[in-house]
Structure 1
Amino acid sequence: MQGNGFKIGLIFAFLALTLWYLFPTIQWNLEQKQISDLSPSDSAQYVDENREKLASIKERTLNLGLDLQGGMYVMLEVGTPQLILELAGENKDEALEEVVTNARATALANDTDFIDEMAAEFQSQGEGARLSRYFRNDAAEITRRSTNEEIVTFLKAQRTEALDRAIEIIRTRVDRFGVTEPSIVKQGTDRIVVELPGVDDKDRVRNLLKGTARLEFRLAANANDFSSFINQVYDYFDLKAAGDEGDSLDTIQPNALLEVLIPSQGNPYVLGYAEEQDTAEVNALLNDQEIDRMIPRNTTIMWSANTQPYTQNG
């Protein structure tokens, strides 16, 4: 009997400990139900008046995970074929696109690595077929003399980098959504598995993740080449403003580009800064055949993704 009493006491102690851990979660769910039953204005007032209390309860709740509280399980895939074509840049042609299409079909059918299938498809065209015809990267020392094996290694490294960046972007967006303990992990070489416990607004999350499924990467222009291009652009507009040699001072116009674009201060990659309402005019001024001829090879001019404050000090 003494042994049974000890066991019963141990069971009661375990139950008490379990209830102690579960109580904040039960309390939180009851609070959420109470809030959902209120009108929008009353619920907002209740949350505002009990903010500290609710935060304290939330901190002590158990994270139930996807299995216990439901949610979303999503698998994303990095678009490796598109990434490969973008890495080829202006060197891509119909032959490469056909190789990529065939390799993608083979990889899907056999559940094999796309880049390996692409290399095999390419080499099947003949012993002299070289991937270096399409892929160059000075930083990675990929040149026209690089072997197919070296380029395959480079392409796989680029895919891994793209996958890592995609995970970071997804994690940032999911954190903004406010999901508790999301799981974002790699699966294989080009897939990302996302688990979002407790998510109710599935359409919103689906749109959030779809926006990150395709990433586009561009190499920065050579600093010396682009710096020279910047000088040529401003000189070109200076000449246009000056007019012909025989023109009078009354006919000389101000530099049109400088009217809407502030030159960068020492940044070799920035043509200048413009007010948001002036970007269309800047685009129109730069849409000039002479400017097109000045742009370094394989270079695209783009506005930055985010606006930023500008001061005279840069």
Structure 2
Amino acid sequence: MTRQELFENIRRKKSFLCVGLDTDIRKIPQFLLEDDDPLFAFNKRIIDATADLCVAYKPNLAFYESMGSFGLQSFEKTVAYIQKNYPDQFIIADAKRGDIGNTGEMYARSFFEHVRVDAITLSPYMGADSVMPFLQYPGKWAILLALTSNEGASDFQLLKDDQGVHLFEQVLSKSQDWGTADNLMYVVGATKASMLEQVRAIAPDHFLLVPGVGSQHGSLEEVAKHGLNDHCGLLVNASRSIIYADSSESFASAAAEEAQKLRRQMTEILIKSKLIEA
């Protein structure tokens, strides 16, 4: 999917919501455990309930890998279901890979040729040769960790060099030698919304994947205030606050209600920013 196609979807749906499919077998409604594939059964109903409200889905690989080969089959079935039934959705494999040489090439082949997702999250800290294999696929995206929402982000990402430049700023600057705004995105946590201006000073045109709205209490308004650009440039992710909004048989409709709340806010933001008409 191209950057323009993603922006067109945002305008058409009046939303820049990404729904995170962090599907934990221990948290899904108990009645689904009777299904042959509980993870996929849960995901399918969440997707059907929210597909008209979001522009992207982000399965987190850790939740599927924790179930071994069975979980990986659920992940692949989930991706295939989205591709078949909602082909306008941007699918992100939240895998946080990052290794050099042949290993990176194999990861790229796995996610872009076999599973055929649109994007994958990567750790950039092994340098260019760990990222370049993912940038060889037209229409596919590498999403680099830049400034994350976790408490430990300050351990490394906020360290400064002798010129007072943060490490995350160096990642943003250097990585733009590797790709462009058409195949590179960055992860910037909503809990770091006040620092989005620093991010935008270095990467004004790139899309940003922004987790931390919802259960981590990041402010959507602050994210938009500091991070929006002339083609929106934001994919704001919410996971637990949507998919675990309810644990009864009404879980999917509850998820839709939570997604709708965020979509309404996003529509107002897009209208106010004159990116869409009222």
| TM-score past 0.5 threshold | no
> Which structure is higher in strand share?
2
TM-score (norm 1): 0.19
Instruction: Decide which structure has the larger Cα Rg and report it.
Output: 1
TM-score (norm 2): 0.21
> Which structure is higher in helix share?
1
